[in-house]
Structure 1
Amino acid sequence: MKLMKTENAAGHVLCHDITQIIHGVSKGPVFRKGHIIETKDIPVLLSVGKEHVYIWENNENMLHENDAAVILRDICMGTNMHGGSPKEGKIELIADCDGLLTVDTERLKAVNSLGEMMIATRHGGFTVHAGDVLAGTRIIPLIIDRQTMVKAKKTAGTKPLLDVIPFKKKKAGIVTTGSEVFYHRIADTFTPVIKDKLAEFGAVTARHVTLSDDPAAITDAIRSMFDQGMDMVFCTGGMSVDPDDQTPLAIRNTGASAVSYGAPVLPGAMFLLAYTGDGRPVAGLPGCVMYARRTIFDLILPYLMADVPVTAEKLAALGEGGLCLNCSVCTFPNCGFGK
């Protein structure tokens, strides 16, 4: 690559895109990489502020920004996504299906820490839809040493940094607890909320029972639902520390292994999650899920629908960003909640 005065560049090959920005109208390339500069192009180049241009000189030790962006794309690109074509040195990754985006945060940080290159992604752990842009990759200079990109590949390792895990078709059971609901003293306004949130992911609520605060009956209902083929079971109500709140005890008595009782998320601190021996989740949902627009349930449900195990470490990490601000206009997930 050689820097040349624009007035003298006719007949030479551009080695980068030339961008034109018209305020409030457009932003895009007026000339692409590989364009052979003609005499008539010189006034256009000068009009976009290019007193000098870089022309291509072959150097096998260096990589052009487009070629380097392809390497970064391949470092990132996991399942259920595809990469676009290079544009002004940048390549975007696009989701091929609805699912849970996962990002290897530590390896992403390691690659970005090398300098001279960048990978910008969405936050992992959230729902993406087919056609969504997941990430963009590019190098910072116009050309980069080939060995630097070899180092980037070595740093990233052999596993892609990103994956989209498709949501599964699941059957759910709901155990509604509380004597006030069981004896029809108040209407059940909790179960419809859970059904609606499950329906957003295509899950079917196949079993539903309403019980009083009887831990033995709740335990039997959970076990029965799993015996009947439910992929997951949700218990509503009875999740506080009051003596008559028996749902946590009932879940433990099923034999499921508890991941955590409590999560550093507001709303949702009294959340309980456990897994059966064959990996099916059973969750105790605190009362806030019934009335708050977004809670711990919205952060965890995509993982459950994608069959990605939720660990105690994952729940603990939700503390930073785990405070919902209850905005007057909710923009979740395009906000800081859970990030």
Structure 2
Amino acid sequence: MRFGPLPLAEAEGAVLAHSLTAAGRRLKKGCALTAGDLAALREAGFATVTAARLGPEDLSEDQAAATLAAALAPDPLALGVSRGAPFTGRANLHALSTGVLRVDRARIDAANAVDEAITVSTLADWSRVSPRTMVATVKIIPYAAPREAVARAAAILSGGGLSGGGPALRSHPVRLRRASLALTHVPGMKPRLLDKGAEALAARLAALGMSVADEARTPHEIEALAAALRAARGEMILVLGGSAPSDRRDVAPAAVEAAGGRLIRFGMPVDPGNLMFLGDLDGRPVLGMPGSSRSPALSGTDWVLERLACGLEVTAADIAGMGVGGLLKEIPSRPQPRAGGAGAAEKPFVTALLLAAGASSRMQGRDKLLEEVGGEPVLRRSARALVASGADEVIAVLRPGDEARRAALSGLAVTLVENPEAAEGMAASIRRGLSAADPEADAVLLALADMPEVASAHADALIEAFDPARGAAICRAADAEGRPGHPVLFGRRFFESLSRLTGDEGARDILRTNADFVRLVKTEGRGARLDLDTPEAWAAWRAEQTG
């Protein structure tokens, strides 16, 4: 890759290194310079520009990031993760469900040592994750990476180049669904303390998506507790004693053996959590919870509970190896059991609104949304693209009583809503779709149904680019030349403004008045700009497709 000052005559296609303004045109860092951009720079008096020119030995930042992310998670669903589309040299992986993350540190370290252009970051091994938690990110630091280095790093991540094979990371989902609670009480113990303990354990289970199968409260005696353990129906048993055990022969651990089970480990090198124990009864784990478990604060028993809930074996050696990092009481910010980790980055929940309530007034009596593309109506094609994207739900807004458009969407995972005010224009459809969106949505993606070359990749690129913390609270698709088009993704902060739109201008005013929050996202080809509103436009497009 050549990087540095380039004469304008040699800069077409090069990647701009620093944002510039020339002849009223704003050229952003990272854009590929076009002939029009260079003409504006010449008019503004520029003779050179600092840019990067890729050679045949290079992969672009997005190509390199996508290659490495695919090597890191070649079968995302089997590994419990989703793999996002690359954007500005970054590709993110997110957990699909609640569970724990396993990471092969040696392999990640080896990949990061291949070339300084390549970086792979993950959460720590054994991290607790929730749905949409970001578990890993691949970032290419310059605008390109050496093709050979990317191939070597990809081979390491996919298992070739290090012994052992297997995935470099895997998110293990929770497998167990129901647990039994066994609580003991000593003379003089207030019932409220038992209630508090049961509530705390139930909350820990709920955070993992588990429920309480049954609950037993017995005197703090070996035989009474052993009988309760034998009667328990859950896939796992949690024991909280009225008095903390001080030896493996004390009441609670001894009751496991009296019930016919075996004790695997008593005590752990984690504080709080020292006085836990782990046993097995007829193939079901029995986890002894220390008194600190009545608090929602993180405890060493949470580490063991999470692994057991995911169906993973926990050995005495595993527990003995938890000492480094196990001084939890000294951590300034300790995540609560429901938090899924302090400050965990999460993939946004995105609702896609397919605006399909227009009148096709310029089509001379034909319905443009029923025009066929590839053997199906363009409306169905547009909906399928959104369903296949990273959007979490898809809502199609239709005009009232339009059975033909409704039929075109049959069988798709799309929520259909009618807009009784469709005659008002696009604003009414945006309002209607927004009112039907999930109340917890972080963003809405507005898509038009008459754009035959918009694909799921367009939506995915916008979702990956969405980063309100860094100013990208609105993401708008642009064509390959950087000209703005559709779809457009709006963050939650603009929902109120969208809900107050009127007329047929759509969200143009919001885009104009909030230009500082808009990030243009270049997409391949011309799809982001191509909409077909007339019979002549459809005929010309079809002639071009067959030409």
TM-score, normalised to structure 1, is: 0.80
User: What's 1:163 paired with?
Assistant: 170
| 11 and 317 in structure 1: CA distance in 2 versus 1, 3 angstrom threshold | same
**Mapped pair 1:334 → 2:342:** yes
SS in 1 for 2:272: coil
**Mapped pair 1:263 → 2:268:** yes
- 2-side partners of 1:46 and 1:330: how far apart? 56
Provide structure 1 residue ranges, at least 5 long, that are not aligned to the other structure: 22-28
| 20 and 166 in structure 1: CA distance in 2 versus 1, 3 angstrom threshold | farther
Structure showing greater Rg: 2
Provide structure 2 residue ranges, at least 5 long, that are not aligned to the other structure: 21-26, 160-164, 344-547
Of 248, 254, 262, the match for 1:249: 254
Is 1:168–1:306's contact at 8 Å kept on the other side of the alignment? yes
SS in 2 for 1:180: coil
- 1:224 is aligned with what amino acid? A
Is 2:80–2:95's contact at 8 Å kept on the other side of the alignment? yes
**Mapped pair 1:73 → 2:69:** yes
Q: For each residue in 1:152-190, what CA deviation from the matched residue of structure 2 results, as whole angstroms up to 9, or x when unmatched?
A: 233230533222222235111111123337x86774232
**Mapped pair 1:202 → 2:209:** yes
Is 1:95–1:134's contact at 8 Å kept on the other side of the alignment? yes
| 46 and 282 in structure 1: CA distance in 2 versus 1, 3 angstrom threshold | farther
- 2-side partners of 1:243 and 1:66: how far apart? 56
Q: Determine which structure has the larger helix proportion and give its number.
A: 2
- 1:300 is aligned with what amino acid? V
How far is the alpha carbon of 1:194 from its aligned partner? 0.9
Q: How does 1:119-130 map to 2 (within 5 A)?
A: 119-130=120-131
How far is the alpha carbon of 1:87 from its aligned partner? 2.1
SS in 1 for 2:328: coil
- 1:273 is aligned with what amino acid? L
- 1-side partners of 2:248 and 2:93: how far apart? 51
| 46 and 3 in structure 1: CA distance in 2 versus 1, 3 angstrom threshold | farther
How far is the alpha carbon of 1:277 from its aligned partner? 4.9
| 212 and 163 in structure 1: CA distance in 2 versus 1, 3 angstrom threshold | same
Mean Cα displacement is larger for which, 256-265 or 144-153?
Answer: 144-153
- 1:247 is aligned with what amino acid? A
**Mapped pair 1:288 → 2:284:** no
- 1-side partners of 2:325 and 2:63: how far apart? 37
**Mapped pair 1:114 → 2:118:** no
Q: How does 1:186-335 map to 2 (within 5 A)?
A: 187-188=193-194, 189-225=196-232, 228=233, 230-237=234-241, 238-241=243-246, 245-278=250-283, 280-291=284-295, 293-325=297-329, 330-332=334-336, 333-334=341-342
Aligned residue-pair number: 318
Q: For each residue in 1:123-146, what CA deviation from the matched residue of structure 2 results, as whole angstroms up to 9, or x when unmatched?
A: 232332222222111234443333
How far is the alpha carbon of 1:232 from its aligned partner? 0.4
User: What's 1:54 paired with?
Assistant: 52
Is 1:45–1:51's contact at 8 Å kept on the other side of the alignment? no
Q: Cα RMSD between the aligned structures?
A: 3.3
- 1:144 is aligned with what amino acid? A
Is 1:102–1:163's contact at 8 Å kept on the other side of the alignment? yes
Of 39, 59, 63, the match for 2:59: 63
**Mapped pair 1:132 → 2:144:** no
- 1:42 is aligned with what amino acid? L
How far is the alpha carbon of 1:224 from its aligned partner? 2.0
Q: For each residue in 1:277-322, what CA deviation from the matched residue of structure 2 results, as whole angstroms up to 9, or x when unmatched?
A: 53x2111111121246221232222222222222334323321221
User: What's 2:85 paired with?
Assistant: 85
How far is the alpha carbon of 1:2 from its aligned partner? 3.7
Is 1:76–1:162's contact at 8 Å kept on the other side of the alignment? yes
Is 1:126–1:302's contact at 8 Å kept on the other side of the alignment? no
Is 1:239–1:246's contact at 8 Å kept on the other side of the alignment? no
- 2:166 is aligned with what amino acid? K
- 1:126 is aligned with what amino acid? S
Percent sequence identity over aligned pairs: 22
- 2-side partners of 1:174 and 1:329: how far apart? 29
Is 2:82–2:93's contact at 8 Å kept on the other side of the alignment? yes
Q: How does 1:38-49 map to 2 (within 5 A)?
A: 38-40=37-39, 42=41
- 2-side partners of 1:179 and 1:294: how far apart? 26
Is 1:10–1:39's contact at 8 Å kept on the other side of the alignment? no
Q: For each residue in 1:61-108, what CA deviation from the matched residue of structure 2 results, as whole angstroms up to 9, or x when unmatched?
A: 433332221222123224232222222212111223333222222322
- 2-side partners of 1:129 and 1:17: how far apart? 38
How far is the alpha carbon of 1:6 from its aligned partner? 4.1
How far is the alpha carbon of 1:30 from its aligned partner? 1.7
Q: For each residue in 1:190-230, what CA deviation from the matched residue of structure 2 results, as whole angstroms up to 9, or x when unmatched?
A: 222112221222322121111223212322321221xx3x1
SS in 2 for 1:210: strand
How far is the alpha carbon of 1:273 from its aligned partner? 1.2
- 2-side partners of 1:240 and 1:199: how far apart? 26
- 1-side partners of 2:45 and 2:328: how far apart? 51
- 1-side partners of 2:67 and 2:193: how far apart? 58
- 2:80 is aligned with what amino acid? N
SS in 2 for 1:87: coil
How far is the alpha carbon of 1:266 from its aligned partner? 0.6
- 2:181 is aligned with what amino acid? I
Is 1:171–1:232's contact at 8 Å kept on the other side of the alignment? yes
TM-score, normalised to structure 2, is: 0.52
